[in-house]
Amino acid sequence: MRIVIADDAAILREGLAHLLTARGHEVVAAVGDPQALRAAVAEHRPDVAVVDIRMPPTHTDEGLRTAIELRRDHPDVGILLFSQYVETRYATDLLAGSPAGVGYLLKERVGDIDDFVDALHRVASGGTALDPEVVGHLLNAGRRGVSALTPRERDVLGLMAEGRTNAAIAKTLVVSDRAVEKHIANIFLKLDLPPSGDDHRRVLAVLRYLGT
């Protein structure tokens, strides 16, 4: 199994590389930032990339965002998120469509290197490896806010999930386009989906709805 490791903690990065190499795997690159991760995956095309979520420069969610890019650009490369944190917002994006070849494990809950290697094998072969605590957080995040929607806002969100345009939603519900826009604005507000240049709020709202 050919592996790329991306973690800004040098000791953890090198220690993990040593453990995996000792078990007969080939660690083709061990890097500490998202840019180096992208370059390593493009150059080596590993079977799987182990990616920490919080990486430079802001140490928030750069690793997870990069994992989503890698998933898009290199769908044949397995992605195993390995972090101390549960980040639900972009993890939903990573798992959207199909979770095949994706894993998400919490560092403090992996007590056996053999279990970790087994998870790597599953992800590298197109399977899934999700920590139960991560699954619980994702489900709770999926439900968050939807219960606060009015029946009409749920109707609008349901039609959004069917891929209907605002005009089509207005025609179906026999309301004005302006009324639909107002409902959608309320949906974004209640689902805590602020404007962002990086995210498609309509898609995120539908994912939240489908997660209920």
pLDDT tens across 51-102, in order? 999 999 988 889 989 999 999 999 999 999 999 888 777 777 777 656 678 8
| pLDDT bracket for residue 11 (50, 70, 90) | very high
**Domain 2-139 is of which CATH architecture?**
3-Layer(aba) Sandwich (3.40)
**Domain 146-210 is of which CATH architecture?**
Orthogonal Bundle (1.10)
- Does residue 139 register a pLDDT over 70? no
According to the model, what pLDDT value does residue 94 have? Answer: 78
Dihedral angle computed from the Cα positions of residues 84, 88, 91 and 93, in that order, rounded to the nearest 10 degrees? -160
Considering the chain, tell me which residue range(s) the CATH 1.10.10.10 domain(s) occupy. Answer: 146-210
- Does residue 145 register a pLDDT over 80? no
According to the model, what pLDDT value does residue 66 have? Answer: 94
| pLDDT bracket for residue 141 (50, 70, 90) | low
Calculate the average pLDDT of the chain: 87
According to the model, what pLDDT value does residue 148 have? Answer: 78
Considering the chain, tell me which residue range(s) the CATH 3.40.50.2300 domain(s) occupy. Answer: 2-139
Q: Is the peptide bond before 99 cis (omega within 30 degrees of 0)?
A: no
The mean pLDDT of 112-138, rounded to a whole number, is: 84
Q: How many C-beta atoms surround the C-beta of residue 82 within 10 A?
A: 23
Which helix (DSSP H) or strand (DSSP E) does residue 29 occupy? strand 26-31
Instruction: Give the sign of the dihedral formed by CA 10, CA 38, CA 142, CA 138.
Output: negative
Q: Which residue has the higher pLDDT, 124 or 93?
A: 124
- Does residue 23 register a pLDDT over 90? yes
The mean pLDDT of 186-200, rounded to a whole number, is: 81
Q: pTM above 0.75?
A: no
Dihedral angle computed from the Cα positions of residues 1, 104, 69 and 33, in that order, rounded to the nearest 10 degrees? -80
